[in-house]
Copies of this chain bind each other. A is one copy, B any other.
Amino acid sequence: MRIGEIAALAGVTPRAVRHYHHLGLLPEPERRPNGYRAYGVRHAVELARIRRLTELGLALAEIRDVLADDEGRELTEVLVELDRDLARQEAEIHSRRERLAGLLEQVRDGGLPPEGPVSPGLAELLRAIAPSDSPTARKDRGHLALVDSLVDDEQRDAFLDALRPLADDPELAARTAELYAALDELADARVDDPRIAPLAAEFSAAVPDTLLRLMGSGPPADGHPFGQALLGDFAPAQAEVVRRLMADLVRRSREL
């Protein structure tokens, strides 16, 4: 048989057969005078066996080991390990699908937030803040999504619990929107603008103790690279508010 024939017989492509030769999975057969590979039934039997193993999901290198190791115990061991691996993959895919289902539910509940896929609790929270079209609010929604995607489930729940009043209390949400708007207005202000100090104080007052307690290694300080970057993300006067806010949060968290 020529390569196309044996490949069709075994249900693979000629390219795959050559690949198996290359990897040493299948011995190279004799050649005809014209250079064509001349396969016998033995090769077909071996090829079919290789295909059965690949269909189970074994990697070609593993198949090579199994075939070489003149088996018995080896194959069983590989199969057990393969099953563990497949079980893990299946579980992983399943959990991804569950998260996907949750996201698609969010879509029906009012559309995905533009921040992309986030936990259901945060989606709710973002919707509460979303009406505010302020640049600062948009920025802060990004920050919330960042935190959301960073922490583990337990921390996330605590985090969302701490912020739940924002989602549940329309009045509080409105207050927050006002704070964002006030910060917006500082976009072009100078760093000695008198509105800075009181706004920082109000922002700090809006951060509950529960949230402070969550920040394990303390709130971002402006010595930290992240704190620096955060300041760099704002206009000067706004950055001054943020700096004072951060300093106050650090102070408060030390007093806890």
Chain A contacts to B: CB under 8 angstroms: 1-2, 5, 9-11, 39-42, 44-45, 48-49, 51-53, 55-57, 71-72, 75-76, 79-80, 82-83, 86-87, 89-90, 93-94, 96-97, 99-101, 103-104, 107, 111-112, 114-118, 142-143, 145-146, 149-150, 225-226, 228-230, 232-233
Contact = CB atoms under 8 A, between A and B. Distances in A.
Most buried by B among A11, A49, A51, A230: A49
Nearest to A70: B114
Given A44-B229, A49-B115, A52-B116, 15 more contacts: A1-B225, A39-B229, A40-B229, A41-B143, A41-B226, A42-B142, A45-B143, A49-B149, A52-B117, A56-B99, A56-B103, A76-B112, A79-B100, A83-B100, A90-B93
Contacts of A99: 56
Contact of A229 (B41, B87, B150): B41
16 contacts: A9-B226, A40-B232, A41-B143, A41-B146, A42-B142, A49-B115, A52-B117, A56-B96, A56-B103, A57-B96, A71-B114, A75-B116, A79-B117, A86-B93, A90-B90, A90-B94
Classify the interface of chain A: helix, strand, loop or mixed. helix
B230 A41 contact: yes
With a 10 A CB-CB cut-off, give which of A5, A10, A11, A41 has the most chain B CB atoms. A41
Contacts of A111: 72
Contacts of A112: 75-76
B229 A146 contact: no
B76 A107 contact: yes
A183 to B, nearest CB: 15
B150 A10 contact: yes
A94 B232 CA distance: 50
Given A41-B233, A114-B71, A233-B42, A83 B97 contact: yes
Nearest to A47: B146
A10 to B, nearest CB: 7
Contacts of A117: 52-53, 56, 79
A221 B4 CA distance: 19
Contacts of A143: 41, 45
Given A56-B100, A100-B56, A100-B82, A116 B229 contact: no
